[in-house]
Amino acid sequence: MGKEISVGLIGHLFMGKAHSLGYKDVAMFFPDMELKPRMKMLVGLGEESVRKAAEQYGWESHGTDYKALIARDDIDLVDIATGNDTHREMALAAAAAGKHIFCEKPMAMNVAECKDMIAAVEKAGVKHCIDFNYRCVPAVALARKMIDDGLIGKIYHWRGVYLQDWIMDPKFPLVWRLIKEKAGSGPHGDLNAHLIDLARFLVGEITEVVGMMETFIKKRPLLGEAVGGLSATAQEEMGDVTVDDATLFLARFANGAVGSFEATRFAGGRRNGNRFEINGSEGSIAFNLERMNELEYYSRNDPAYAQGFRTIIVGESAHPYMGAWWPPGHIIGWQHTFVHQVYNLCNSIGRNQMPSPNFYDGLKCQQVLEAVEVSVENREWVKVEQ
């Protein structure tokens, strides 16, 4: 390894920190990668707080103006880890400057914005990638391999839930994730986006949906200060919650499978429960992010006396990504999904290939999200734009 790719990251808070960890650690565990990321510049809001973050995460320089980052000739890849309402504007500017782009999910506020972003990257001829990081959990990549190898046969069911509880306290303030103009939607765009991407990755394209949404707490105190991660302080004054608190929907897949999806921030006790189960003609697979080093597998072809789910500890060098880490059984964590994503991204750019997942996957996901919203509004099944 010799060659480098210079990175500029916009956003220094929760996701900015996660992406920084990816760039910082990747070459230590994947020394064979095509292009080693060089952490050139971090941009965020608030000079003092960005300065501290840049120092802490290991960035060479910092600033508060993303346009200055994009204008630099010595930056090849622009990473957008900011709020959903800024992705389109930043991606358009980065593409116009000829930069490759790595963008947080959901790709944008709506399908129209995704299409603008695709037109911009196509015109510029740059590479693009969306951070659906759960594809990079080794157990999820293993699930994909087992499905591709035919271990569960023809798929009948997808059952996905993404359960969180961090806003259950009605006094929790109106952070940007609860404001439609900033977030686009609530757990629908935040969490169902992950489930939709995983379902597309593991089962296939979704063709038709019917959904329901609910907002349980309609007014909350205005935001005092965002503290980092998902924490924040509140003011006295109240404001309207303008996104969903929970969204559920049913779906049909192009290959004949059927699916159910549920995303909520009101599942008390479930902190980050991204779970799915897939049932096929030969067996089943089940995953729970809160036990992310395990994959449950059932085979109908086991002898009758040995029938039942078994738990695969995804910690063998034969498992995706795991050969790069520790000896067998020495497990990894949530942050390592970002290391894997950065590894895939830098390799693809180095090999002049389009990264995966990319803006086309971001658009497909947004088309499903939007079809569910239309379905909720009209109380009917809606076909997903293909």
Residue nearest to ligand SOE (CB): 190
86 binds ligand SOE (CB under 6 A): no
Half-sphere exposure of 91 (CA within 13 A, CB side): 35
CB of 272 to ligand SOE, least distance (A): 6
Place of tokens 């790069």: 324
What lies within 8 Å, CB to CB, of 201 at 6+ separation is: 132, 135, 140, 144, 357
Q: Does 341 bind ligand SOE (CB under 6 A)?
A: no
Return the number of the residue (13 or 120) whose C-beta is nearest ligand SOE.
13
Residue 292 to residue 312: CA distance in whole angstroms? 11
The residue type at 25: D
- Does residue 164 touch ligand SOE according to CB under 6 A? yes
Residues 211-250 vs ligand SOE: string with x where CB under 6 A? -------------------x--------------------
Number of residues this chain uses to bind ligand SOE (CB under 6 A):
4
Interface with ligand SOE, residue 272, by CB under 6 A: yes
Q: Does 190 bind ligand SOE (CB under 6 A)?
A: yes
* Residues 99-128 as x/- pattern, contact with ligand SOE by CB under 6 A: ------------------------------
Cα separations in angstroms, 363 against 130, 134, 219, 344, 357: 10, 17, 31, 20, 11
Decide if residue 185 touches ligand SOE (CB under 6 A): no
Q: Residue 18 or residue 203: which is nearer to ligand SOE going by CB?
A: 18
CA distance readout (Å), 288 to 180, 199, 204, 269, 274: 29, 14, 20, 14, 6
Q: Hey, which residues does 37 pair with through a beta bridge?
A: 5
Closest distance of CB 36 from ligand SOE, Å: 26
Dihedral sign for Cα 79, 22, 82, 87, please.
positive
Q: State in angstroms the smallest separation of the CB of 95 from ligand SOE.
A: 23
CB of 261 to ligand SOE, least distance (A): 15
User: DSSP code of 74?
Assistant: T
Q: Does 361 contact ligand SOE by CB under 6 A?
A: no
Which residues, at least 6 apart from 2, have a Cβ–Cβ distance to it below 8 Å?
A: none
Binding site for ligand SOE (CB under 6 A): 164, 190, 230, 272
